[in-house]
């Protein structure tokens, strides 16, 4: 299985196991797309079914959501820089930019938690109505993914500090960067189809 | 919670089951201890990452599940033959048909096929294992513990009773309180994780690990069917994951997705379920098609007729399978337009399926046919499946479906496709690849007895159901009117015939182990594809030297040229993954977490989830990347296996 090792090209693509893991992860992301599409579909179907609870238009705060969006977008950008640093062979640059990415991600999460608590105080919860169930589950699933991503990246940071750049660590970093960008893309869809539409309708 | 709420009480049948479970468990523990086999069990099986052993474990578990599901079936048949005897009451009958359906589809059909894929696909494409052996073990254990979780429900907590389709609002917290339905949700969720991982694993394996020279359109057809199936799995299973999660959250945390309060939408469950559910029926039938294709081509001694058409029809079926789900609930009132659209897309599926039928006939045509047991299973499949398919098209006509829907006509349809398709294929495939797995064939004479009992029993059981269905007998009823009695009695007789067939099959496993001649070469049936190029038993690294593939039916070409997979001059050390107990441990913790959630003991669920996360972190720091098999060892193994 160790055949077909390459001598050049990005570190993470040099071993055949590395190439397989990356392909496997792309396929996993396809499955994740189906998962989120299903959640978006349930959200769309249940849109407007707020029962006696407040409507989204009454609750959504443009400013919070805008800050969250910028935090996550910038974190996607810094994650790109991190991989760029990795390709340059700089462990230090990679670790630094990865930490910045995580801090931004944590900021995003902080705002999301604040947002949820705020809504609860306004009287809407998971149990309020079909609409709010789908809202909390869709955004919550995304938030859970971000949380897991942060935990995972911390594990990788420890490994990077211990082992430096190897075909294995660079593969792991590359894969988590795919994951991170993916979460960003999902957020764009949440931002537009949940928040923007929710605020105007 | 009181102990008598925890255990199911008051049912003599269930007390009997409890006693037998206790006895069997005690016997297993005793035997393992007496023969000092615990270490062996751990080292050779529980920690293995070898695709062949994982495949065997899948198949053994699937056979056990076939037994359990079969018992459920016989209980239902007894009840319907003697409805006055009150063998099962209404509640118990509901539980039995629910567990029967769920066990058969999720814990029997899929694992059986995935087991065969595990054993065969890497060998067929000339690979030394799957792409992610560790993940493969995770998949198996997640299926295993999911199945365990679902199966304990009938002694602990109570079985689900809302049907394998679990329509809401019936399956919601208001109308099905208690742990029963939660067992369904979490058992399926747990095993579903494994299925998704298997789909990813086989996709990468097949795309990336084919032997040098093997083009996509030179791949054995069973491997093709596995690839297409994996594709369906990756795109269908996340839908089930979400549907199950939403219902779990509805039931345990009070959300309002499928409820009648809070403007929830019960029918959304029906949609989500079938958006997964219809692709699912193709997940269990496409690999079956692949198995039959291999067997028919081997025993007609001809190349598969219309190989490319076969592949393309599978791809078209896979695509269409996502576009027909509404045919399962034409009667729920979507309106004429929607029904028409889905009616047409449903009938379209019959086209590629028909293409395949003609290809099998074309392969048989002018072949030198050998009537071995696997071939007989395949020949029994063709006409039986045609009946199932044709009645499927009848059901697909929305207007007439108002008549057939929810009747025994429907029951007969899906048993004709699932049994004649999937179950026959599992038996055929097991008999066919059995020598590769265990080093001896199954006895042909006993095998044919089991086949005739099963096939004739099957038709006797299900053919009358079409008619009793047209006479208006609804599905899922525990008692019937006198007019339906005669056909139901015939059905029950047939069901016992199938039971006999299964019993003989199992006896054959024992008989052949004792008395059948051991295989001398790896090529038991004069095969055409690479799995037959390996010696028997297959060395754990599969191929000493990986062959260069030059066309379809790669091994046939190799045999003509006198090549083997043991090219002594070109041996190199082989890299193999190490065994690990992590998948087993991780999934047993997951089992505990799910069990906690079933009883809504959040502390237990959370503790379990933390345990799983710790295991994953542990894995992340695990840099063990296997070991090398030395050239000497390969030489020794191959020489003794090949009798050189
Ligand atoms: C020619 C291809 C097929 C067509 C046109 C077809 C059509 C249909 C239709 C219209 C129904 C719904 C009937 C109703 O509820 O009133 C149905 C049910 C079903 N079909 Fe098929 N089918 C086909 C092949 C298959 C195959 C290959 C399988 C599985 C291997 C399968 C498994 C099932 C199952 C399990 C159900 C019933 C599920 C339930 O309600 O519990 N079908 N089929
Ligand atoms: Cu269907």
pLDDT in tens, B240-275: 999 999 999 999 999 999 999 999 999 999 999 999
Q: Note whether residue A113 is domain-resident.
A: yes
Given an 8 Å threshold on Cβ–Cβ distance, is B262 in contact with A130? yes
Residue A53 falls inside a structural domain = no
Establish, for the pair of chains A and B, how many residue pairs have beta carbons separated by less than 8 Å: 125
User: Is a pLDDT exceeding 70 seen at residue A1?
Assistant: no
Q: What does the block give as tokens for B633?
A: 């060892």
Using CB atoms, which residue from B128, B238, B243 is nearest to A1? B128
Please tell me the residue having the least CA distance from ligand 1 atom 6.
Answer: B392
Tokens 């996360």 sit on residue: B613
Q: Which residues pair with B575 in a beta bridge?
A: B628
How confident is the model at residue A87, as a pLDDT? Answer: 93
Chain A: closest CA distance from residue B237 (Å): 8
- CB of B396 shorter than 6 A to ligand 1: yes
Q: Which residues have CB atoms below 5 A from the ion given as ligand 2?
A: B 278
Q: Ligand 1 in contact with B328 (CB < 6 A)?
A: yes
Ligand 1 centre distance from Cα of residue B462 (Å): 15
pLDDT score of B536: 87
| pLDDT greater at residue B567 or residue B211 | B211
Instruction: Report the domain count for chain A.
Output: 1
Q: In the predicted model, is pLDDT for residue B356 greater than 50?
A: yes
A25-34, B22-31, B50-59: least confident range: B22-31
Q: pLDDT tens digit string along A121-139?
A: 999 999 999 999 999 999 9
- What gap in Å lies between CA B615 and CA B608, rounded to an integer? 11
pLDDT digits (tens, 9 = 90+) for B63-114: 999 999 999 999 999 999 999 888 999 999 999 999 999 999 999 999 999 9
| Helix, strand, coil share of chain A (percent; to 5) | 80, 0, 20
Residue B430, H or E segment: helix B424-438
Average pLDDT score over chain B: 95
Which residues on A lie below 8 Å from B266 (Cβ)?
none
Q: What is the CATH number of the domain that holds A196?
A: 1.20.120.80
Rounded to the nearest angstrom, the distance between the alpha carbon of B411 and the centre of ligand 1 is: 9
Is A60 a domain residue?
no
Give a yes or no: residue A143 inside a domain.
yes
The distance in angstroms from the start CA to the end CA of chain A is 56
Q: Which domain holds residue A43?
A: 11-47+66-200
Q: How crowded is residue B474: how many other Cβ atoms within 10 Å of its Cβ?
A: 13
Q: Which of B254, B265, B275 sits opposite A45 (nearest CB)?
A: B265
In a domain, A58, yes or no: no
Residues of chain B with pLDDT > 70, as a percent, come to 100
Residue A183 lies in a domain: yes
Q: From the alpha carbon of B105, which atom of ligand 1 is closest?
A: 35
Q: For residue A27, is it within any domain?
A: yes
Contact list in B for residue A152 (CB cut-off 8 A) is: 620
Token representation of residue B479 = 């008692």
Q: Tell me, yes or no, whether A4 lies in a domain.
A: no
A56 backbone φψ class: left, alpha, beta (φ>0; ψ -120 to 50): alpha
| The pLDDT of residue B384 | 98
User: What are A35-85's pLDDT values in tens digits?
Assistant: 999 999 999 999 999 999 999 999 999 999 999 999 999 999 999 999 999
Q: Is A29 on the interface with B (CB under 8 A)?
A: no
For ligand 1, is residue B357 a contact (CB within 6 Å)? no
DSSP for residue B552: S
Helix (H) or strand (E) run with residue B576 in it = strand B574-576
Give B1's pLDDT tier (boundaries 50, 70, 90).
low
Q: What DSSP assignment string belongs to B445-497?
A: HHHHHHHHHHHHHHHHHHHHHHHHHHTTPBSS-S---GGGHHHHHHHHHHHHH
Range with the lowest mean pLDDT among A42-51, B8-17, B455-464?
B8-17
């Amino acid at each position: 299985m160790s055949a077909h090792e390459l001598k050049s090209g990005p570190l993470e693509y040099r071993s055949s196991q590395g190439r397989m893991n990356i392909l496997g992860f792309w396929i996993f992301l396809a499955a994740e797309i189906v998962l989120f599409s299903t959640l978006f579909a349930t959200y769309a179907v249940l849109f407007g079914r707020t029962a006696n609870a407040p409507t989204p238009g009454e609750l959504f705060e443009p400013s919070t959501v805008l800050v969250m969006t910028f935090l996550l977008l910038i974190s996607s950008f810094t994650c790109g820089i991190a991989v760029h640093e990795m390709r340059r062979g700089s462990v230090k640059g990679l670790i630094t930019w990865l930490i910045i990415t995580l801090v931004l991600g944590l900021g995003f999460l902080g705002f999301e938690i604040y947002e949820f608590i705020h809504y609860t105080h306004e009287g809407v919860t998971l149990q309020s109505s079909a609409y709010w169930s789908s809202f909390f589950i869709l955004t919550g699933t995304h938030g859970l993914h971000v949380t897991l991503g942060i935990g995972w990246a911390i594990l990788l940071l420890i490994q990077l500090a211990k082992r430096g750049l190897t075909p294995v660590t660079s593969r792991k970093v590359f894969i988590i960067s795919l994951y991170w960008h993916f979460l960003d893309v999902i957020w764009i869809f949440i931002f537009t189809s949940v928040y923007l539409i929710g605020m105007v309708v | 919670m009181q102990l008598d709420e925890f255990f199911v009480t008051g049912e003599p049948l269930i007390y009997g089951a409890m006693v037998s479970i206790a006895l069997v468990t005690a016997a297993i523990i005793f035997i393992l201890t007496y023969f000092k086999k615990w270490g062996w069990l751990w080292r050779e099986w529980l920690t293995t990452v070898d695709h062949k052993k994982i495949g065997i474990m899948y198949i053994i578990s699937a056979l056990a599940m076939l037994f359990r599901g079969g018992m459920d079936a016989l209980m239902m048949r007894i009840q319907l033959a003697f409805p006055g005897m009150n063998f099962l009451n209404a509640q118990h009958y509901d539980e039995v048909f629910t567990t029967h359906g769920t066990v058969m589809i999720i814990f029997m059909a899929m694992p059986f096929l995935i087991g065969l894929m595990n054993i065969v696909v890497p060998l067929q494409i000339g690979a030394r294992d799957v792409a992610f052996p560790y993940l493969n073990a995770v998949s198996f254990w997640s299926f295993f513990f999911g199945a365990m979780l679902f199966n304990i429900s009938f002694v602990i907590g109570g079985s689900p009773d809302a049907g394998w389709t679990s329509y809401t609002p019936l399956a919601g917290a208001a109308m099905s309180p208690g742990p029963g339905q939660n067992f369904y949700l979490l058992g399926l969720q747990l095993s579903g994780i494994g299925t998704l991982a298997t789909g990813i694993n086989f996709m990468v394996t097949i795309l990336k690990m084919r032997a040098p020279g093997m083009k996509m359109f030179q791949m054995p057809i069973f491997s093709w069917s596995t690839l297409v199936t994996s594709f369906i799995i990756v795109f269908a299973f996340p839908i089930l994951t979400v549907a199950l999660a939403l219902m779990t959250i509805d039931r345990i945390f009070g959300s309002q997705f499928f409820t009648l309060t809070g403007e929830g939408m019960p029918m959304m469950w029906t949609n989500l379920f079938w958006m997964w559910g219809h692709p699912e029926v193709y997940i269990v039938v496409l690999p079956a098609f692949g198995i039959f294709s291999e067997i028919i081509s081997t025993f007609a001694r001809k190349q598969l007729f219309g190989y490319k058409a076969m592949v393309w029809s599978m791809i078209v079926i896979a695509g269409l399978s996502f576009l027909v789900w509404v045919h399962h609930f034409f009667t729920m009132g979507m309106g004429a337009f929607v029904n028409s659209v889905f009616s047409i897309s449903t009938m379209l599926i019959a086209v590629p399926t028909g293409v395949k039928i003609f290809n099998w006939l074309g392969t048989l045509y002018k072949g030198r046919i050998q009537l071995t047991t696997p071939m007989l299973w395949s020949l029994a499949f063709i006409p039986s499946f045609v009946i199932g398919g044709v009645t499927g098209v009848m059901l697909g006509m929305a207007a007439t479906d108002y008549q057939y829907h929810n009747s025994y006509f429907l029951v007969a349809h899906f048993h004709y496709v699932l049994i004649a398709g999937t179950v026959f294929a599992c038996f055929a495939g097991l008999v066919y690849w059995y020598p590769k797995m265990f080093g001896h064939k199954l006895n042909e004479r006993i095998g044919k007895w089991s086949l005739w009992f099963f096939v004739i029993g099957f038709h006797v059981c299900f053919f009358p159901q079409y008619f009793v269905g047209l006479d208006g007998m609804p599905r899922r009823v525990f008692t019937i009117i006198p007019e339906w009695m005669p056909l139901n009695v015939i059905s029950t007789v047939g069901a016992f015939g199938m039971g006999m067939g299964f019993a003989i099959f199992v006896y054959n496993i024992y008989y052949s182990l004792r008395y059948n001649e051991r295989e001398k070469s790896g090529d038991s049936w004069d095969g055409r594809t690479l799995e037959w190029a390996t010696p028997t038993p297959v060395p754990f690294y599969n191929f000493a030297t990986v062959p260069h593939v030059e066309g379809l039916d790669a091994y046939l070409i190799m045999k003509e040229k006198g090549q083997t997979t043991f090219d002594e001059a070109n041996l190199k050390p082989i890299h193999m993954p190490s065994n690990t107990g992590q998948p087993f441990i991780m999934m047993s913790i997951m089992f505990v977490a799910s069990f906690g959630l079933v009883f809504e003991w959040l502390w237990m669920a959370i503790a379990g989830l933390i345990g799983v996360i710790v295991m994953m972190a542990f894995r992340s720091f695990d840099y063990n990347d296997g070991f090398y098999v030395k050239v000497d060892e390969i030489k020794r193994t191959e020489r003794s296996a090949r009798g050189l």
